[in-house]
Structure 1
Amino acid sequence: MSRATFSHRQQIAQLDLYREGFQKLPQAPTLYPSEEEFKDPIAFVKKNRGLIASFGIAKIVPPKSWNPPRLVNDKKKFETKKQNIYQLCNRITPHDLFMLLLRRFLAKRDPEKAEKLGETWTDLESSEIMINGNAIDLYDLFIQVMSRGGYDQVTSSDSWSQVLQCQLILGDTDENASKLLQFIYRDYLLELEREQTRKRGLYQAEKKEEPRVKDIVEPTDRIDFCSKSEWNKKRKIVEENYLDVSLKDSLKAAVSYFQDVSDVELECLVCSKKLEHEQNCFTAFCKDCDPLNKQKFGFLEGCVVNIEDLKEYSEIFRHRWFSARKSRYGIYPKEEELINDPSYLEAEYWRLVDSSQDAVSVYYGSDLFTNLYGSGFPSFQERQKFVEANNPNKIEQYDKYLLHPWNLNVLPELSSSLISCLNVKIPGITIPWLYVGMLFSSFCWHNEDSYMYSLNYMHEGEAKVWYGCPGGANAALFEASLAVCVPELFEANPDLLYNMVTTVNPLRLSRMGAKICRTIQRAGEFIVTMPQAYHAGFSLGYTCAEAVNFASTDWLPFAWAAHSRYIKYSRAPAFTLEELFIGVINSPDFLTKTCLHEAKCLLTYIQKIVNFELKQRNRCLGMCSRTVQRSKLEVLGDCSHCKHSCFFSSLVAVGGNEASATFCLHHVNEAARYFPDRRELIFSYKYSEEELNLLVVRARELVVGRKQASFVATDAVHKKTSIENIVTAHSDQKV
């Protein structure tokens, strides 16, 4: 059987395995509210909370009467992020390693050429080696030429046009493009090929064999020339692990291109600093240059486009990528429409993520502030513009949805949402964010700020694939599974999940024991995510969506757990629980709709907050030289240790040769250790002990009032879900 046939079989088998695996994943619930149920989104979610919580996410399909006006601004320019799909799971990839070594190889021979390769780890984005404005992937170019016998063979057989087709070049190319690609290879890669041929020739001579071009080392997972029996063994491993099993082999192969070419050993591949540890393709970096370092990876700054631009780019990219894929691997859907098949695109996406072979990058307009870029829903600030630009017949439809509870501009402000009691408006939480994506635009594994609920609506576009995992104990199991899949990333960055730049194949997580589900969201549909539920996904083409958070009282146990965890990892929350509770107690609109169980829940957590504050306050009074009461409107600063805003009170160490340092009451011990270097430790507070106790009294009065009301209209019996019990038990421990 030919080499190409085995490569073809390997690719087909992997895609088929992925397609079969994803179809077997549990499907998230799809809910169809009636006209009556659709009047109140928070009540509808609470009614179905037990079902949704067991999956983590759910799809909500509105009634047929739901028909909000299309208000997306196609012309408004916005900034995008550039996502390297091949780096979302594997930070050290064959492509990056090859380019890094190539830069070192060229730097000794022609430093100017080395500089044109671009910056470390962002080669394709900063490279000056381009055709038609597209940076050429020198790693893939080298692979394609070597697989065809090398430079001389490709040139003599006039095959440069075939090699060109393997490159991801967007837009039309002229007749000189093939020649230009040949010149690029000659200038940047031919010397490496000659060195490889010489090296292999010497190796073969030692074995008294004639050197052959085919003996040049090739990445085993790009061109797999194994026997049928070997492939069957590999297929079994792929079936068991659902990932490209030869990624490490590819990394080693990338290194082997340069073996004996450079005699430098035990030096960092980036800065040449001498290493004190054993060197291999994963550890060939000093601490400052290590790509696993938490400061080294993030989404790059993308282009500035509007919706029309990104929609057009997405389609061009789709057809050009699959054309290049056909040329690279000899695989292409038998029917043209298969490149729009969600199951095929899903398999291809995860092949790109897992193998890390193809340096595919896409753009994503994420976290776009709707006050600046415009909401897809009616809003008061945009109403006058709409009136001026449209005929009177359309105004009626606009106003119909202006205060609709499923309008994401309205949802956070509903009286049944706790965050409606906040005195500040927070982009992305109480003010929706817009998300404009293209094919393969990704949102990586994460849960919402402070473990809140979220509601995501797709205004228009093709579809998004969503994956979800429930909160509570399942969230802990999910995190453990993720840590097993990418241990090196967690070791370098313990708070990896807060960065939202890492994704792992759901099939791998599922096999580790995580409870994963999936669903496909289409235009006109909502996705709700439950408290602490992890979720991830990607776009199947152009998509325009909008999302916002909300929080009902059943969220409070999760809020407490998030509060504790943020302190542990020094993550600043969007708002403090103290600030929220002050708003809740002062909000009669919310309190009049609070049932007995909700009143008891509020009392529990307000009591916890106040008890902790008073206990720590007594400690502070005994160690501080001064005590100052501040205005309620004054900002007390952020804790130097955990980044949390000091809402009720703070400790400030002043004097000495350094700037003053602020500590919250969770870090009184740290403030005490810091004190010897300061002349004075000051305790500042905004609320007196009497005022804090009044918060508890107000909450108790609420419980009493709800109890009295229950004699008239008995509250429905509230039964906790298993998830709530787990979270409550976990969060009862001291912060």
Structure 2
Amino acid sequence: MYCLNPALRVVPKNDWYCDECLRGTNGDYGFEEDYSNIFTLTDFEEYCEEEKKNFCETQLHGEMNPSIDQLEAEFWKLVDGGSNGTYEADREQISVRYGADIHKDDAEEVSGFPTEGNSLIDQEAGRKYIDSPFNLTRLPFAGGSLLRYFQKEDRNQMSGITIPWLYVGSMFSTFCWHKEDHYTLSANYCHMGSTKKWYAIPARDCQKFEALCKSIAPDYFKKQPGLLHQMTTLISPHDIASFQQYRNIKLESDDFVHCYSVNQEANEFVITFPMVYHAGFNCGFNVNEAVNFTMPYWLGYGEQAVCDYIKDGKEDVFNYYGLLRNIMDILMNDKEEYKNIEDEFGQWTVTAMLDHCFLSYSEQVRQFGLLKNDKKLQSILAQIPHTDFEEYQQERQRKLLAGCTHHRTGRKLSVQKEQEDNTYDPDEFICHECKAFVNYQWIEVDILKKIAADLQDISNTNGQKQLPTPGNSPPKFGSNNKGEDIESEWKQIMEKAREEGLNESIKNNESHAGMRLRKRRKIVRNDNSDTYELSSDYAKQRKEKMLNRMKNKRRKHYNFGKMVFCLNCFTRGISKMDPTQIEQLKKISVVYDRESYEHLREHIEKTLEPKLGLLGIKTHH
């Protein structure tokens, strides 16, 4: 009790959790990642067998072939610490390894399925399985899956959804309660090994389950609204039932949360449906592979996911409204594709799907039009430089190719290295505030420009040969006049609680690619003590050092220190700014124009509506 910081003077009457546990981090897994130990598949299987043997000898009184029911009971005892506390001491000594999310960008390099062009596979003998839609490398783009309507350049950015991931399990390795990204369907195939135990809660009970979890640990969910997205929550089916029965949990319905289970053996598929919570554990060594796909009826779930993600602060994985546009454009112009999907699902289903696409997409465009009529917003945007997005992409690609021939810091950058650092970054099109994909028009705020402007202000002050006097200091961005950078100001305005130091963000550059993508944006407040408190020379040195660090980082990561805002979030932000702040914001921002409202309306009225009308779909907008 007294070793805690701060110390607790009395024993809490209710369940108590330390601040570190409550604080959490959206999107981080609650498991340790071990990069120091590397196993071959054979080595890992031997390791798993040895661990299972030791557990059976010490915990199961030498029962070397426990049943699935026995292992299930032992698993939940470990998770809960034992019904009578018998595992409380032992569970700290039990280490479980899980080879999760194993993948590369090229699916054929890591999949357990035979793939096109794989030199290790007899292409002629394996043709039946290579071309099968149940081959998980093909399933996302098989006939009927709406993911096939993503452009090829977009498909490569959805690893884990359109590119299968492998999972190598050991006894008691687990996957916690979660729904699939964007509430898509998923297919999981067990290539070999022991049983995988699955639990599932149907979509109809989804909200009741979430209400139940929040009532069990309200402090957790108050701190982390998106906790269930983080795949760190485990509640046993028994506890789900008992919490409802004995704690008098008030749910939206009198109906209980239903929980079902299934045992997956080698050579079996498990399909999860949209918005279904699922969890489970492995009974020993096994190798599974999983990927996502969609069907026409998924669209309503996909739209719900976009709304839920904004509410919970979870990033979009793909652009839902861009997919709707692609579906309509392709099916309206490709008669063969339209006939294929109609033969697959029937005319009524395809008509209903296109009707949903049109209504949702038209509403998105309508909302864009309302923002175009916001006089204050448009007045500010008119004073910010505009860049045509397509021209920007072409120029960026040209610079990328040109940069591959130049020497930097005494060495020649290879094309592969340059492309690794500077190619398409999914975060480039994610709003910094709402975490949704931006569409049509958005604003980019560049922190490097802000620091350069601050440095210029200091140089100008030095040139005046005098120190600022009270009430006569150069205006700083922000109402608190403490020299905070633009992102800190936005985070205060948007009521963001978490802040990280700029130097920490620059120094802690993980080599792991997935974490590096997020690091590019974590440019936050600098030390408040540096502005006009010591000497202008000292402040200038600090700013110069910061600027040089950012420039070096920008050479490696094209978007380092840049933030993107959708029009909605930008509008809410400027409504809380004073004129001085807005003027400084204009100087460090760029507006990207991808598609004008007029062009979008023309496409809807002159292309989509007439073609949908020919199919008997009545359009209203």
Structure 1 residue 704 and structure 2 residue 583: aligned?
no
Which runs of no fewer than 5 residues in structure 1 stay unpaired?
Answer: 1-254, 256-264, 327-331, 388-394, 709-735
**Number of residue pairs matched by the alignment:** 422
Of 403, 409, 412, which aligns to 2:131?
403
Of 382, 389, 393, which aligns to 1:631?
389
Q: Supply the distance in 2 between the matched residues of 1:686 and 1:508 (Cα, whole angstroms).
A: 50
1:705–1:485 Cα change, 3 Å:
same
Shift of 1:631: 2.7
Shift of 1:434: 0.8
Structure 1 residue 317 and structure 2 residue 45: aligned?
no
The aligned residue for residue 237 of structure 2 is: 506
Q: Supply the distance in 2 between the matched residues of 1:674 and 1:461 (Cα, whole angstroms).
A: 59
The aligned residue for residue 491 of structure 1 is: 222
Shift of 1:401: 1.0
Which amino acid is 2:566 matched to? Answer: C
Q: 3-state DSSP class of the match of 1:379?
A: coil
Shift of 1:277: 7.2
Shift of 1:278: 4.9
The aligned residue for residue 111 of structure 2 is: 375
The aligned residue for residue 80 of structure 2 is: 354
Matches within 5 A, 1:79-158: none
1:363–1:653 Cα change, 3 Å:
closer
Shift of 1:633: 6.9
Q: Supply the distance in 2 between the matched residues of 1:322 and 1:563 (Cα, whole angstroms).
A: 46
1:694–1:322 Cα change, 3 Å:
farther
Q: 3-state DSSP class of the match of 2:274?
A: coil
Which amino acid is 1:344 matched to? Answer: Q
Which amino acid is 1:345 matched to? Answer: L
Shift of 1:518: 0.6
1:291–1:514 Cα change, 3 Å:
same
Shift of 1:493: 2.2
1:470–1:646 Cα change, 3 Å:
same
1:354–1:583 Cα change, 3 Å:
same
The aligned residue for residue 308 of structure 2 is: 565
Of 371, 383, 386, which aligns to 2:121?
386
The aligned residue for residue 205 of structure 2 is: 474
Which amino acid is 1:624 matched to? Answer: L
Which amino acid is 1:598 matched to? Answer: M
Residues 372-406 of structure 1: per-residue CA shift (max 9 Å, x gap): 75111111242x3324xxxxxxx433111111111
Of 366, 376, 394, which aligns to 1:611?
366
Q: Supply the distance in 1 between the matched residues of 2:590 and 2:58 (Cα, whole angstroms).
A: 66
Q: 1:653·1:678 contact (CA, 8 Å) conserved in 2? A: no
1:695–1:363 Cα change, 3 Å:
farther
Stretch moving more, 662-671 or 549-558: 662-671
Q: 2:29·2:231 contact (CA, 8 Å) conserved in 1? A: no
Stretch moving more, 622-631 or 600-609: 622-631
Residues 509-555 of structure 1: per-residue CA shift (max 9 Å, x gap): 23423221111111111111111111000111111111111112211
Residues 92-135 of structure 1: per-residue CA shift (max 9 Å, x gap): xxxxxxxxxxxxxxxxxxxxxxxxxxxxxxxxxxxxxxxxxxxx
1:436–1:282 Cα change, 3 Å:
farther
Q: Supply the distance in 2 between the matched residues of 1:274 and 1:601 (Cα, whole angstroms).
A: 54
Q: 1:485·1:504 contact (CA, 8 Å) conserved in 2? A: no
Alignment root-mean-square deviation, CA: 2.9
Q: Supply the distance in 1 between the matched residues of 2:188 and 2:392 (Cα, whole angstroms).
A: 35
Shift of 1:702: 4.3
Structure 1 residue 544 and structure 2 residue 287: aligned?
yes
Of 686, 697, 704, which aligns to 2:594?
686
Q: 3-state DSSP class of the match of 1:545?
A: strand
1:557–1:671 Cα change, 3 Å:
farther
Structure 1 residue 459 and structure 2 residue 185: aligned?
no
Q: 2:149·2:326 contact (CA, 8 Å) conserved in 1? A: yes
Q: 2:430·2:564 contact (CA, 8 Å) conserved in 1? A: yes
Residues 214-267 of structure 1: per-residue CA shift (max 9 Å, x gap): xxxxxxxxxxxxxxxxxxxxxxxxxxxxxxxxxxxxxxxxx7xxxxxxxxx4xx
Shift of 1:354: 1.0
Stretch moving more, 592-601 or 558-567: 592-601
Which amino acid is 2:210 matched to? Answer: E
Q: 1:437·1:542 contact (CA, 8 Å) conserved in 2? A: yes
Q: 2:186·2:290 contact (CA, 8 Å) conserved in 1? A: yes
1:283–1:540 Cα change, 3 Å:
closer
Q: Supply the distance in 2 between the matched residues of 1:663 and 1:400 (Cα, whole angstroms).
A: 47
Structure 1 residue 292 and structure 2 residue 22: aligned?
yes
Matches within 5 A, 1:509-528: 509-511=240-242, 512=244, 513-528=256-271
Which amino acid is 1:664 matched to? Answer: C
Q: 3-state DSSP class of the match of 2:175?
A: strand
Residues 38-91 of structure 1: per-residue CA shift (max 9 Å, x gap): xxxxxxxxxxxxxxxxxxxxxxxxxxxxxxxxxxxxxxxxxxxxxxxxxxxxxx
Which amino acid is 1:638 matched to? Answer: I
Which amino acid is 1:648 matched to? Answer: Y
Which amino acid is 2:139 matched to? Answer: L
Q: Supply the distance in 2 between the matched residues of 1:479 and 1:522 (Cα, whole angstroms).
A: 29
Q: Supply the distance in 2 between the matched residues of 1:449 and 1:284 (Cα, whole angstroms).
A: 31
The aligned residue for residue 433 of structure 1 is: 165
Which amino acid is 2:307 matched to? Answer: S
1:345–1:570 Cα change, 3 Å:
same
Shift of 1:310: 1.8
Q: 1:637·1:662 contact (CA, 8 Å) conserved in 2? A: yes
Shift of 1:689: 1.7
Q: Supply the distance in 2 between the matched residues of 1:585 and 1:454 (Cα, whole angstroms).
A: 24
Q: Supply the distance in 2 between the matched residues of 1:281 and 1:529 (Cα, whole angstroms).
A: 40
Per the normalisation by structure 1, the TM-score is 0.53
Q: 3-state DSSP class of the match of 1:650?
A: strand
Shift of 1:508: 1.5
1:542–1:693 Cα change, 3 Å:
same
Per the normalisation by structure 2, the TM-score is 0.62
1:286–1:440 Cα change, 3 Å:
closer
Shift of 1:455: 0.9
Q: Supply the distance in 1 between the matched residues of 2:392 and 2:362 (Cα, whole angstroms).
A: 24
Q: Supply the distance in 2 between the matched residues of 1:577 and 1:601 (Cα, whole angstroms).
A: 13
The aligned residue for residue 192 of structure 1 is: none
Identity %, equivalent residues: 28
Q: Supply the distance in 1 between the matched residues of 2:302 and 2:16 (Cα, whole angstroms).
A: 42
Matches within 5 A, 1:262-341: 265=2, 268-269=3-4, 273-275=5-7, 278=10, 287=19, 290-295=20-25, 298-302=30-34, 303-326=37-60, 332=61, 336-337=64-65, 339=66, 341=67
Structure 1 residue 529 and structure 2 residue 264: aligned?
no
Structure 1 residue 649 and structure 2 residue 441: aligned?
yes
Q: Supply the distance in 2 between the matched residues of 1:428 and 1:379 (Cα, whole angstroms).
A: 17
1:637–1:673 Cα change, 3 Å:
farther
Q: 3-state DSSP class of the match of 2:126?
A: helix
Q: Supply the distance in 2 between the matched residues of 1:707 and 1:476 (Cα, whole angstroms).
A: 36
Shift of 1:291: 3.1
Q: 3-state DSSP class of the match of 1:597?
A: helix
Q: Supply the distance in 2 between the matched residues of 1:661 and 1:462 (Cα, whole angstroms).
A: 46
Q: Supply the distance in 2 between the matched residues of 1:610 and 1:532 (Cα, whole angstroms).
A: 26
Q: 2:202·2:277 contact (CA, 8 Å) conserved in 1? A: yes
Q: Supply the distance in 2 between the matched residues of 1:653 and 1:538 (Cα, whole angstroms).
A: 44
Shift of 1:476: 0.5
Q: Supply the distance in 2 between the matched residues of 1:509 and 1:671 (Cα, whole angstroms).
A: 45
Q: Supply the distance in 2 between the matched residues of 1:671 and 1:276 (Cα, whole angstroms).
A: 43
1:467–1:569 Cα change, 3 Å:
same
Q: Supply the distance in 2 between the matched residues of 1:406 and 1:514 (Cα, whole angstroms).
A: 32
Q: 2:325·2:357 contact (CA, 8 Å) conserved in 1? A: no
Q: Supply the distance in 1 between the matched residues of 2:314 and 2:578 (Cα, whole angstroms).
A: 24
